[in-house]
A and B are shown apart, each in its own frame.
Chain A
Amino acid sequence: MAFDDNLLPNTPRKTKVPKFRLAAYLVIPLLAILFQVYIPRFFEYLSYLELPLLVTVYFSIMRRQPIAGALIGAVIGLLQDSLSHHPLGMFGIVKTLVGYFAASISQRFDVENSALRFILSFFFFLFHQLFFWVMASGLLGQQLEFQLPQTIIFAFLNAVVAVPLFLILDRLKTVEA
């Protein structure tokens, strides 16, 4: 009996991997971090927007390679760390995991779907905040408060922003390998 790959539940989806210009990989994360650093000065309510996280999720699900996703997350996270007052590695570790899991999920699901992108953004924001809180409490001994209702609302808001943002970033795709 011949097995068809498509019938096997553990087989990753064989889809085309979109490519981006190198400049997009450099400029977009930088812009996301600059946004987070400077825009809340003028619009304080936008400080809850985690654009670096959304960019990490986007590039990871587009690359569909867990190693690439982890690397993208690590670089963006460390850059974010270097502009924060936390020790280097806090955002780095969390975003490394986010990148890795996002890329792993993209191998199984159709990440071009807007509804799925919304769910992924919502879930990864929650994961990001929760894991950061765990690390700050466990590794640094900080007594931070984790306010679940507030975090859920922010996760929803970030997911709402993520859908149009991802559609805009889709336009930067050059070729699909």
Chain B
Amino acid sequence: MESFLSRYRNLTALLLLIVGQLLLLAYQVKGQGDARLIRIWAVSAVTPAARAIEWIRDGTGGFFAGYVFLRNVQQENQQLRAYTSQLKLNNQFLSAELASADRAKVLLEFRSRIPSRTLPVRVIGTGTGANSRVFYVDRGSADGVKRGMAAITAEGIVGKVVASYPAASLVQLLTEHESVAGVISQKNRVRGILKGRGRNTCVVEYVRNEEKLEPGEWFYTSGADRIYPRGLPVGQVKQVREGRGGKEIEVEPSALRGGWIEEMLIVLDGVHDLIPDVQAQADPAISILPAPPEDGSAQPVPSATPEQGGPVQQTDADKVREKYRRLGESQGFAYGASPGRVADYNRPVPAAIPPPKTETVKPPEPPKQ
């Protein structure tokens, strides 16, 4: 026996290694157990490196954004100072608009809008393996994140937490194999099970051929899976056709449409919401004009202005401009006339102040003879 083992030493060692790992695999699969200690060690070992890499990346990006690009901004500002006050006002307006488009703000706004209790997280790494559809986020069990919690963004559901470690968690994307979610269509209220298949799109199963469903229709979470609260957007139907065992529906997840996700929310305490109704979209080419005057006098439609005292028909841009005008006037700030000074746009908007009246310059009276 000993000579046999020494003769086939290499093969024996290989078999021992394989059998050992097979037993480990069997323990995890059959016993529903997990070699959690090994994973905790591994994740805890690499998490500091992830934070360091993220810190370096942020710092490098901040350096370029805050110094290298700032020089250009300064030159640009010097040119802008020569422009008219109207251009400066537009510049402020666009800056404010850009700031409000920040992803984090969108996420926080979404967070305050939904009834569920959520925790904002940031992606710090991806899972191993080619074409992996899992990633690590920077919050873990110490922050209350548990396995099975949903990960969402304002655009829709992202996936669920499949493992939670003290300082990080592993989130599995909706498109990964074995990912499932209970869904319901918005328009026709068709229920089904959304399944990931390792591609960029998912399929919805268990929908009968008799059910009515159209391409472009939205699917929302139904809440039946007890992971995703009801009422969160999932995605739009990309393709639908009749199949042998039921409809074959391909859905493009809305949250994953924009490419890489940086921030998301983990649903700590899910609360079901309503499925929004389909709103008939107004055709921009059609508009209803005000009724003609009863006396039959053909008057042109008044383009009412505050100066004329009539009802003001404002666009969104007019409203924002009016808001900034009020803010500026309440702080004694004159746009274009105070270089280097910026009004505080975070203050509450004061009540309406009548716009400054334009003094009409009367033509000089002819000298009396």
Contacts and interface: CB of A to CB of B under 8 A. Distances in A.
B163 interface: yes
B43 A84 contact: no
Contact of B177 (A129, A139, A142): A142
B134 A145 contact: no
A169 interface: no
Given A47-B131, A66-B14, A87-B28, 7 more contacts: A37-B128, A38-B50, A41-B124, A74-B17, A85-B170, A87-B29, A154-B130
A85 B42 CA distance: 13
A interface secondary structure, majority: helix
Contacts of A139: 25, 29
Interface residues of B, number: 47
Contacts, number: 131
Report, as a range, how many residues of chain A touch the other chain. 35 or more
A89 B125 contact: no
Interface string A73-112: 0100011111111111111110011001000100000000
A83 B198 contact: no
Given A66-B14, A67-B10, A145-B198, A84 B128 contact: yes
B130 A52 contact: no
Interface string A22-37: 0000000000011011
B41 interface: yes
A98 B25 CA distance: 18
Contacts of A71: 13, 17
Interface in A133-147: 139-140, 142-145
Contacts of A154: 130
Question: Which 3 pairs of residues, A with B, have the shortest CB-CB distance?
Answer: A82-B42, A89-B25, A89-B21
B18 A97 contact: yes
B57 interface: yes
Interface string B109-151: 0000000000000011111111110111000000000000000
